[in-house]
Chains A and B, each alone.
Chain A
């Protein structure tokens, strides 16, 4: 699959997922984008095969006393598109650090 040219917003969201922010709300928090922008962008990225979604196991959700959440992972195509986007937008990685760095 050829690399897709992403808009700045889509690239930020892909960068966030690649950096380990795998839930809709965590992506909203790190990018500062509203839900009305993040979720449609997630649908587009998933439709284009750049990310994949998966539901959390029910047992994990039950243990935390909340409904199971859907989380997103970057795909192989997504990784190569992200690399191309990082070249196009050199500040992406600086703006959205990896989730572990943020926690530290």
Chain B
């Protein structure tokens, strides 16, 4: 990395630093970099360390209200922050057509009888069937499929506002959207446009192979849930040999006469001659096994959670002395917090992945649940506020083994939490010690108030 690249990196990172300190921060790092480049060869490594420094300054210069909110000290603040994040992500998901689709289900008529047919051993979503093979398949499977359609990817280029534009389109059999049962605006169109593409190209007609195509219908952005990503579908007469010229392969979409088999895929054979047969793989794009996947994910989540996470919220000998309302409030807080975190995880996952991946969901849920438990453990079991004033106890040895425990206190004087660094005969986890009224003189609130909590 050259000197100029390192300077650019430092300048980029300096945007994290609050504006008031940015110039001085950058001057210090640049000065040190100049010195390092003269006498050492670790300039890049040195510059990368500036990120932590910049982040430290940013974190410690937050507005007091923002810092208090992020600390989530009171249970109300915690739930408000989580609800805010969950609400923001859900709103974002609702505005994203691809993510919205995961929740609303496919917009097609009887989606579980649809089938995507491809050549065997070709990854799902890859065009693999030629128009000749499609015609053989359509003719030979009329008893199995009530309707079939061919979809062939293509690209069109045109000039718009003085610049060249190209958009991905599909040449498709005229009956494609009837087969899908997809609602759209427009009658018997030659061209179907995605809503956002229609807005982009508003007022324009297409010209394909020298022929103008003006008759258009519009479908919503998230309506196409089958292989391929297209802005438009040009509906052609599949009996015309010239209709599917260009890219040699496409997909076959078919609708079965009955419900699909409960298998992830199956094969059909089509005779080519007396001795030769053509093989196709049929895969339902919307399998019925969603519930099974959900149950399997839940079981996997539970097993991994039990194996990796300590579920205990800490030892509290005085727990039974707490009023039932206080105990209920504590559990209610845990349940609501868990629910909000799960909403954040589910909505967040749906934004970044196009289909549910059980493994990823399990890992994310585990991490989220671990945070929920650790947050619950660092709170006072009486008032549910975050414990403060951590004090390390014990004396470190001369080999810097650090302390053997930390004690945190409830700022309202409800008690003390002991967190041991290493399990010993006295403590194996964290232990809560409630204060009685004799401690009241140390805290601002009257003892009677605490005793009744």
Contact = CB atoms under 8 A, between A and B. Distances in A.
Contact of B49 (A35, A47, A89, A91): A35
B396 interface: yes
Contacts of A36: 48-53
A91 B34 contact: no
A91 B397 CA distance: 11
B53 A25 contact: no
Contact of A39 (B45, B49, B396): B49
Interface of A: 5, 8, 23-25, 28, 34-40, 43-44, 47, 61, 66-70, 88-91
- Chain B interface size, as a band, is 20 to 34
28 contacts: A8-B402, A23-B32, A25-B32, A25-B36, A25-B40, A28-B46, A35-B45, A35-B46, A35-B47, A35-B49, A35-B50, A36-B48, A36-B53, A37-B52, A39-B53, A40-B56, A43-B53, A43-B56, A43-B60, A44-B56, A61-B31, A66-B31, A66-B38, A68-B27, A69-B32, A70-B28, A70-B31, A91-B398
A67 B392 contact: no
B416 interface: no
A25 B47 CA distance: 12
Contacts, number: 69
Nearest to B400: A8
Contact of A69 (B35, B38, B400): B35
Name which of B27, B47, B48, B49 has the most chain A CB atoms within 10 A of its CB.
B49
B37 to A, nearest CB: 10
A103 B36 CA distance: 19
Q: Nearest 8 A-B pairs (CB), nearest first?
A: A35-B49, A36-B49, A36-B52, A39-B53, A40-B56, A67-B31, A69-B31, A70-B28
Nearest to A9: B400
Interface string B116-135: 00000000000000000000
A74 B45 CA distance: 27
Contact of B34 (A5, A47, A67): A67
B30 interface: yes
